[in-house]
């Protein structure tokens, strides 16, 4: 214990012997009051900080802050909605590497059929037919 705490304990004992219970309570609350004073000096607030009174009720800062977290029912609904949404890249993973390369190259990279044919070592017409058939299959998978 520090000297201040030892001195406070002595004062509490003396006040208790003398029956000065208000002084005992003040001394017991002193560490908390000191911590709150330091927080105020640093610009910190507690959610239990009193911001006013209304009809003999104390209003604390935490009472005025709205809670944007979801209740259990809303959380369940949100999770179900997220599960229903289809990730567009999941069905693409059902295709083999060449078909994925053709689909992604054409849809995302906007590559021409001739450029894709050179990359996958197929003819332009073969790449185009693969793309068209795979695109129809992808559309049906995403529905």
Collect all residues with Cβ–Cβ distance below 8 Å to 62 and sequence separation of at least 6. Answer: 47, 48
**How many CA atoms lie within 13 Å of 141's alpha carbon, on the beta-carbon side?**
15
Spatial separation of the C-alpha atoms in residues 126 and 132, rounded to whole Å:
10
Predicted TM-score (pTM) of this structure: 0.42
Q: 60 and 76 share a domain?
A: no
Q: How many domains does the chain divide into?
A: 2
Chain segment 111-125, per-residue pLDDT in tens: 999 999 999 999 999
**Can you tell me the mean pLDDT for 14-18?**
94
The last residue of a domain, from among 64, 83, 100: 64
Residue 102, token pair as written in the block: 């053709």
Residues written for the chain: 143
Which of 46, 84, 40, 37 shows the shortest CA–CA distance to 65?
A: 46
Span 38-43, average pLDDT: 82
Residue 35 and residue 9 share a domain: yes
Looking at the fold, whether 79 and 123 belong to one and the same domain comes out as: yes
Residue span of the structural domain in which 76 resides: 72-142
Report d(CA 135, CA 105) in Å as an integer.
Answer: 12
């Amino acid at each position: 214990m520090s000297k201040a705490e030892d001195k406070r304990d002595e004062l509490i004992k003396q006040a208790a012997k003398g029956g000065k219970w208000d002084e005992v309570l003040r001394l017991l609350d002193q560490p908390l009051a000191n911590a709150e004073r330091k927080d105020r000096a640093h610009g910190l607030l507690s959610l239990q900080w009193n911001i006013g009174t209304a009809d003999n009720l104390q209003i604390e800062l935490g009472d005025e802050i709205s809670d944007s977290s979801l209740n259990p029912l809303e959380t369940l609904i949100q999770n179900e909605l997220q599960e229903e949404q289809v990730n567009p890249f999941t069905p693409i993973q059902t295709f083999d590497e060449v078909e994925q390369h053709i689909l992604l190259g054409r849809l995302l990279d906007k590559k021409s059929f001739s450029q894709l044919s050179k990359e996958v070592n197929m003819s332009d017409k073969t790449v185009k037919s693969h793309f068209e058939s795979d695109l129809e299959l992808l559309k049906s998978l995403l529905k």
